[in-house]
Amino acid sequence: MDSFLTGLKAAVDTLGATVLLPIVIFIIAVVLGAKVGRAFRAAVTIGVAFIGINLVLGLMLNSIGDVAKAIVTNTGIHRDIVDVGWPSAAAIAFGSSVGLWVIPIGIAVNVALLLLRLTRTLNVDVWNFWHFAFVGSLATAATGSLGYGLAVAALVAALALLFADWSARAVQQFYGIPGVSVPHLASAQILPIAIVLNWVIDRIPGINKINISTETIEKRFGVFGEPVVLGLIIGLVLGAIAYYNAGDFGTVLSKVLTTGMTLAAVMLLLPRMVKVLMEGLLPVSDAAQEFVRKRTGDRELLVGLDSAILIGHPAAISSSLILVPIAIILSVILPGNRVILFADLAVIPFIVAMTAPLLKGNVFRMVVVGTVTLALGFYVANALAPLFTSAAISSGFKMPENAVQITSVVDGFLWVPYVIIEAIQGLGIAGLGLLAVVIAAVFVLYRRNTLAWERAAGAEDEQSA
């Protein structure tokens, strides 16, 4: 059994998300009744779309990463908890004892909840099961028990499906992508924070009238408000902040202009890649709905995908870019903070993108929610860093020089792992049981109040799922 699981994990690591996803999509589409030729074309198109999305995201993340490193260097700050980035967190998660089991656990939880009619999401984003393994590895580090880690991984897999169902209608309407949901914990965990802060902002006179969306900017400023030009302007500003002291005038000008043009390209190309993804998803979504209708009537089945599909909206990109210098400022001014952000500043788009449907693309509110989320995240990271570091060492991760402890924005800044670990460390097996009961109860409440929950998550469709 262990050799099979080791081989499965190795295959996932070797293939990577952009190869594994089309294979999974093809198999699922054929099982759901799609014609082989149509399923094959859809799977290849989806794979191509994700390669395109990842290429553009890579362009953006490299640019933002370079800008962030330059800004951090300019501030001269030093901390002993180092941000090692999500690739390191993923490697730690899959390299842990929990990582060996996480794929069958994630699939089993999904199938069980589908059969119990507690979820509508079929999570095909297998590679991102590492998020479940990561939280499980923290639980194992906290308790010394693999059993605790596996149980926590299962609970987090269920929670990701709940978040996916909850936000699905809003995501579909705002992004124009039918039949999908996003069971990506790093993105979905911001929903409760955003709902509370949105409620608060609605009750602050004056502030509640501020609506800075990319659409209103475009209407007011014409060509200078178009997404591609807006990306250029934001890039030029960020480049100037980062590279003002990078050398002679020619060097500075070159770096600033390159940053501006890179982010302009991202603003134009990402939405187009998402449209290619939609082209591939439609046959799979249609097959899923037809399959379900024949067997259960009007029940809906959603295809769960990576939150990369959310990053293409101009509001998500704009708010994320604004949050990069804000995050660095927070790392300097927050009392008691020991974390220096570095590698994961570039993944802030994944943290805030899910707020776009809820906040109707209001960049002002997205930046407010993102700022509060990051501020809380710093304290979560400080608290979880010892366990993060312990899990890393256990999985054979090589610690960076001069780092006493390590963390990452994904998933070291998230409130979900923090709450779970606190419950287990404080209450032991009772804490684990309490978490299971709470998540089960929320599932039941959600199914009974689907329409109200979807409205709270920003949906406008008044038809119950």
How many residues in total does the chain contain?
465
Residue 463 CB-density burial (10 A; 0-12 exposed, 13-18 middle, 19+ buried): exposed
E strand or H helix that includes residue 49: helix 36-75
Listed residue (97, 80, 175) closest to 137, CA to CA = 97
Listed residue (49, 304, 311) closest to 179, CA to CA = 304
User: What is the structure's pLDDT at 463?
Assistant: 42
Give me the tens of pLDDT residue by residue for the chain, a chain 465 residues long. 556 555 655 666 666 666 777 887 888 788 877 788 888 888 888 888 878 877 887 777 777 778 777 877 777 777 778 888 877 888 888 878 888 788 889 989 999 998 888 888 988 888 788 899 999 999 998 888 888 899 999 999 999 999 998 888 888 888 888 888 999 888 988 989 999 999 999 999 999 999 887 777 766 666 666 777 877 888 888 888 888 887 888 888 998 999 889 888 887 787 788 778 777 777 777 777 677 666 666 677 888 888 888 877 888 888 888 888 898 889 888 999 988 877 677 788 888 989 998 898 899 999 999 999 999 999 999 999 998 888 888 877 777 766 678 888 888 899 999 999 999 988 888 888 888 888 888 777 776 666 565 666 655 444 444
Whole-angstrom distance, CA of residue 200 vs CA of residue 203: 5
User: What is the structure's pLDDT at 405?
Assistant: 86
E strand or H helix that includes residue 4: helix 2-15
User: What is the structure's pLDDT at 109?
Assistant: 93
Place of tokens 């990577």: 16
Whole-angstrom distance, CA of residue 9 vs CA of residue 6: 5
Whole-angstrom distance, CA of residue 233 vs CA of residue 244: 16
User: What is the structure's pLDDT at 223?
Assistant: 65
Residue type, 17: A
Domain spans, the chain: 2-456
Q: Which two tokens stand for residue 87?
A: 């690739």
Residues 6+ apart with CB under 8 A from 81: 338, 339, 340, 381, 382, 385, 403, 404, 405, 406, 407
Whole-angstrom distance, CA of residue 146 vs CA of residue 292: 37
User: What is the structure's pLDDT at 456?
Assistant: 61
User: What is the structure's pLDDT at 465?
Assistant: 41
Whole-angstrom distance, CA of residue 335 vs CA of residue 106: 38
Whole-angstrom distance, CA of residue 115 vs CA of residue 125: 19
Residues 6+ apart with CB under 8 A from 455: none
Whole-angstrom distance, CA of residue 38 vs CA of residue 316: 32
Whole-angstrom distance, CA of residue 264 vs CA of residue 59: 11
Collapse the DSSP code of 246 into the 3-class scheme (helix H, G, I; strand E, B; otherwise coil) and give the result.
Answer: coil
Q: Which two tokens stand for residue 408?
A: 């990452």
User: What is the structure's pLDDT at 461?
Assistant: 46
